Amino acid sequence: MPELLYSTVIEQAGWVAAGEISARELVEHSIARIDALNPVLNAFAHVFTEEARAHADGLDAERAAGALRGPLHGVPIAIKEENDVAGIPTRFGSSAFTTPATADSAVVQRLRDAGAIIIGTTRMPEFGIWPFTESDSFGWTRNPWNTGRSTAGSSGGTAAAIASGMVAAGIGGDGGGSIRLPASWCGLFGLKPQRGRVSLAPNADLWRALGVIGPLTRSVADSALIHDVIGGAGPADRFSAEALPVPMLRSATEPLDRPLRIMVSLKNPMGGQAADADTASAVRRTADLLRGLGHEVIEADPDYPRLALPFQVQLAAGISDEAARADHPELLERRTRAMLRLARPLSRFGAWAERAAAERGEPFLTRLFGGVDLLITPTTPTAALPVGQLDGAGAIAAVQKAGPVSSFTSIWNALGNPAAAVPAGFTDAGLPLSVQVIGPRNGEPTILALSAQLESARPWADRRPPLAEASTP
């Protein structure tokens, strides 16, 4: 029997294809791990125990007959609960939604078509507003590296599930950093793809022009493989990215063909909180490593455009759009209702905000990526903060706590560029650190190639959370 705990997506799919393990055994391992750890971590909102077992048995029968669905045949995957999964409500982290989805979202259907098994849906803050996966209705989601710390958000449930070994991969969403922030605080790799790279159907967009969907994983190659499976816009999508010249997995597994010119900066794009000493040190160590790998590293600060207001207006419009779908709006959290009162007057300026971001962003992007291949910054200004950030906080207090956490990431949602959170060591207290690697439009291949090079030179997957080690089923 292969060692399943902390095995990768690629390993699991390979074992199933070779007959070394069954899809049912993978599912049972995942369910046992969820049963052992979810009461502590609160990563999953809904677990498809019997459905996953039945699906696994069907896939095993197909494999025995000589057929494989695709590159994820038999692999359990977690889904953030803002994605439609047929038969259950799409809750957006809220108690206000009770009507079951009638069909899978495009991403969920593509995963199933590739042979993945949807093992469950994961926790998020209501509508993904906050960078803390906390809820008045559903409690805190805890960080496997230290259960007194937050996972960040809004894809915090997905991040906790992967970092603790419940699954090898899960789907998140990113409207201001919500893939990269939990990846940063939980020691994972998370790529926010180019706007329009992955279908948002049945929705035309996610938070207007801000939101995208993508996986969180422990390895760069796993993320690339899943992106290859779920990639491509459809007719219902407002945005469509240019097709990449090669599969993302190839970019993540083949060496770079030339040294890169890389800018490294600690400047906060939103003018907010500076990176603390641990985070700044992680960025500098990464710069030194890149120099040692033969890249040209330029320490300089971009002249960022002012996008805080357009971002906030798009955010307000997106929250208003999602809240309008609630079956029971009276069950929305008190601070969400207060946010909606603030957001609704702004939401009608959403189109202006999109235009303003494009008009201010295009000259900046031309200057920046006309001179360098990639930009590296902190992902978050600090390592994981304590849980309970939203306890007793109203809308204004919550906004004040949330702003600094996403201050390095949100600008890239307004601009639409791809950006990834890459693990970069640990604090003395054992909390993960991260750097953000940002590329030009359609720059995922270069981001993946450099991230894989960093992963090879400074491996991170061999270190595991102490909770996970103590709780192995």
Query: What's 106-173 look like in SS3?
Result: HHHHHHHHCCCEEEEEECCCHHHCCCCCEECCCEECEECCEEEEECCCCCHHHHHHHHCCCCCEEEEE
Average pLDDT of the segment spanning 54-79: 98
Supply the Cα-derived Rg of the chain in whole angstroms.
20
- The residues, ordered by sequence, that sit 6+ positions from 470 with a Cβ below 8 Å of its Cβ are none
**Tokens 């940063």 found at:** 184
- What pLDDT, on the 0 to 100 scale, is given for residue 467? 78
Average pLDDT rounded to a whole number, residues 3-17: 97
Kindly name the residue from 80, 164, 347, 434 that is annotated as catalytic: 80
Mean pLDDT of 454-473: 83
Q: Is 80 exposed, middle or buried (0-12, 13-18, 19+ CB in 10 A)?
A: buried
Looking at every residue in the chain, the average pLDDT score rounds to 96
* Alpha-carbon gap, residue 219 to 188, rounded angstroms: 8
9-470: CATH topology is: Amidase signature (AS) enzymes (3.90.1300)
Mean pLDDT of 307-311: 95
Give me the percent of the chain exceeding a pLDDT of 70: 99
Residue corresponding to tokens 């207007």: 208
Whether residue 124 has pLDDT greater than 70: yes
Q: Is the pLDDT of residue 361 over 60?
A: yes
- Residue 73: pLDDT band (50, 70, 90) is very high
Mean per-residue pLDDT, 45-69: 98
Q: Is there a catalytic annotation at residue 281?
A: no
- In percent, the amount of the chain with pLDDT more than 90 equals 96
The ranges assigned to domains in the chain are 9-470
Give the burial string for 223-255 (b: 16+ CB within 10 Å, else e): bbbbbbbbbbbeeebebebeebeeebbebbbee
pLDDT at 243: 96
For residue range 220-245, list pLDDT tens digits in order: 999 999 999 999 999 999 999 999 99
Query: Does the pLDDT value for residue 470 go beyond 70?
Result: no
Instruction: Please count the other Cβ atoms lying within 10 Å of the Cβ belonging to residue 311.
Output: 23
- How many angstroms separate the CA atoms of 180 and 198, rounded? 16
Span 347-357, pLDDT tens digits: 889 999 999 99
Please count the other Cβ atoms lying within 10 Å of the Cβ belonging to residue 457: 12
Residue that is written with structure tokens 């400047």 in the block: 267
- Phi (first) and psi of residue 134, to 5 degrees: -140, 150
Among 7, 105, 135, 154, the one annotated catalytic: 154
> What's the pLDDT at 1?
78
- pLDDT band for 413, please (50, 70, 90 cuts): very high
What pLDDT sits at residue 468? Answer: 59
Nearest to 94 by CA among 45, 139, 127, 134: 127
Query: What mean pLDDT is predicted for residues 303-314?
Result: 96
Kindly state the average pLDDT of the residues 89-93: 97
β-sheet bridge partners, residue 376: 264, 437
- Residue, of 383 and 342, whose pLDDT is higher: 383
Annotated catalytic residue 80: yes
> What are φ and ψ of residue 208, in 5° steps?
60, -115
Q: Which of 178, 199, 407, 434 is catalytic?
A: 178
178 is catalytic: yes
Q: What is the mean pLDDT of residues 199-209?
A: 96
